[in-house]
Chain A
Amino acid sequence: ETGVTQSPTHLIKTRGQQVTLRCSSQSGHNTVSWYQQALGQGPQFIFQYYREEENGRGNFPPRFSGLQFPNYSSELNVNALELDDSALYLCASSFPGQHIEQYFGPGTRLTVT
């Protein structure tokens, strides 16, 4: 186990709804990244937070947003859910300034119906 936890494990939402996914980083890690993994694909980078500020973003629309808290836990918020948002959402924590081993959580499986 990596020490990165995510909640909930599974979630079912209806198209148009909003969802919040949560991530608790490994102790001492002040950088968190979020990835979306569709079935049969590799994870795709959504964005990264460092010291509570967004520090890089992938090719995802603004309805994907995030927060990082002073204790380095993090949230991923998705508004106006679409069917294609159905995926495994992974968070990964790390230290900055290292060759980077990112520690991934087990993910949240989101199903949009």
Chain B
Amino acid sequence: DAKTTQPPSMDCAEGRAANLPCNHSTISGNEYVYWYRQIHSQGPQYIIHGLKNNETNEMASLIITEDRKSSTLILPHATLRDTAVYYCIVRVVSGGSNYKLTFGKGTLLTVNP
């Protein structure tokens, strides 16, 4: 699985959009980009994933650059409850059942009142 690079920490004001970047310059054609987050003292929570098209769900939007070497997770209206460590993960999705997730250190997003 390709390596990812994320800033160690970011701040965001409550109600504003939070834009979390991820660099995955060695990504290959069959690797997807996944985002998970981990709120303090809880297990990680799936947010969103994508291959090359931009994706949106009820939690967030995922913008992947055309060359797929980087992506941005967007929380459109951050709340205090969005304070968490956000992990960007790149992995191959196959038809098999081995779904190992390789976590880095992630980005600690702090949403301030």
Query: Contact at B98–A48, with CB atoms within 8 Å?
Result: yes
Q: Does B43 count as interface, using CB distance less than 8 angstroms?
A: yes
0/1 per residue, B95-107, Cβ < 8 Å to A? 1111111111110
Q: Does A42 count as interface, using CB distance less than 8 angstroms?
A: yes
Task: Please name all residues of chain B whose beta carbon is closer than 8 Å to the beta carbon of A43 when the two chains form the complex.
Answer: 44, 101, 103
Task: Please name all residues of chain B whose beta carbon is closer than 8 Å to the beta carbon of A58 when the two chains form the complex.
Answer: 100
Alpha-carbon separation in the docked complex, A43 to B104 (Å): 8
Given A102-B46, A105-B43, A107-B43: A94 in contact with B103 (beta carbons within 8 A): no
Given A42-B104, A45-B102: A97 in contact with B97 (beta carbons within 8 A): yes
Partner of B43, one of A50, A92, A99: A92
Q: A55-B97, A102-B44 are in contact. List 9 more A-B contacts (CB 8 A).
A: A31-B97, A35-B101, A41-B105, A56-B98, A90-B43, A99-B49, A100-B93, A105-B43, A106-B43
- A selection of 12 A-B contacts at a CB cut-off of 8 Å is A43-B44, A44-B103, A45-B101, A45-B102, A48-B97, A48-B99, A55-B97, A55-B98, A92-B43, A99-B49, A99-B93, A105-B43
A interface residues, Cβ below 8 angstroms from B? 2, 4, 31, 33, 35, 40-45, 48, 50, 55-56, 58, 90, 92, 94, 96-97, 99-107
Q: Measured between C-beta atoms, what is the minimum distance from A9 to chain B in Å?
A: 10
A-B contacts, CB under 8 A, total: 68
Query: Contact at B95–A97, with CB atoms within 8 Å?
Result: yes
Alpha-carbon separation in the docked complex, A50 to B32 (Å): 22
Q: Does B45 count as interface, using CB distance less than 8 angstroms?
A: yes
Q: Measured between C-beta atoms, what is the minimum distance from A110 to chain B in Å?
A: 15
Task: Please name all residues of chain A whose beta carbon is closer than 8 Å to the beta carbon of B32 when the two chains form the complex.
Answer: 99
Query: Contact at A31–B43, with CB atoms within 8 Å?
Result: no
Query: Contact at A102–B99, with CB atoms within 8 Å?
Result: yes
Query: Contact at B101–A48, with CB atoms within 8 Å?
Result: no
